[in-house]
Amino acid sequence: MEPITVKVKKLDPRAVLPSRGSPFSAGADLRACMDGPVTVEPGQTVFFHTGLTAEIPEGCAGFVFARSGLASKSGLAPANKVGVVDSDYRGEYMVALYNHSKNPVTVNPGDRIAQLVVMPVSFTEFTEVQELSETERGTGGFGSTGK
């Protein structure tokens, strides 16, 4: 499979390009770019700079996900759950981390704070109709298909 090429620009000389933890990692780690340690108190959200901007190819979008280790061990995860980066966005990539734990958590410069996954997206047109096709599931939602 051909890799998707993403052009990345450093906005700060301390910034670190996104990198994968292993050859088959779906996400590339984003790192905190800041002057010194920042502590996130329980229940607090803090915005972290990455010092990076990028050019996501047209037809794709970037998705900023939690790093599983950081979220499960420290309780820090993106406040918006998943950040969506459109292909025409050229601003700095920022990560809003929320502390779900009961303990303060300190983030240091260069710490891996989230992961970026670049995926193709479909562009959809929405059309208003009077009726939708019927399905076996119908209007059943939230747990209607079993455990």
Q: What is the pLDDT of residues 87-126, one digit of tens each?
A: 999 999 999 999 999 999 999 999 999 999 999 999 999 9
Q: Residue 11 has what pLDDT?
A: 98
Task: For residue 87, give its domain range.
Answer: 7-120
Tell me whether residue 34 is in a domain: yes
Tell me whether residue 82 is in a domain: yes
Specify the CATH number for the domain of residue 36: 2.70.40.10
Tell me whether residue 49 is in a domain: yes
Tell me whether residue 144 is in a domain: no
Tell me whether residue 129 is in a domain: no
Cα 53 off chain centre by: 14
Q: What is the mean pLDDT of the chain?
A: 94
Of residues 105 and 3, which shows the higher confidence score?
105
- For residue 14, pLDDT beyond 70: yes
Q: Residue 146 has what pLDDT?
A: 67
Tell me whether residue 133 is in a domain: no
- For residue 143, pLDDT beyond 80: no
End-to-end CA distance of the chain: 36
Rg from Cα positions in the chain:
19
Tell me whether residue 42 is in a domain: yes
Q: Are the CB atoms for 64 and 30 separated by under 8 Å?
A: yes
Domain count, the chain: 1
- For residue 28, pLDDT beyond 80: yes
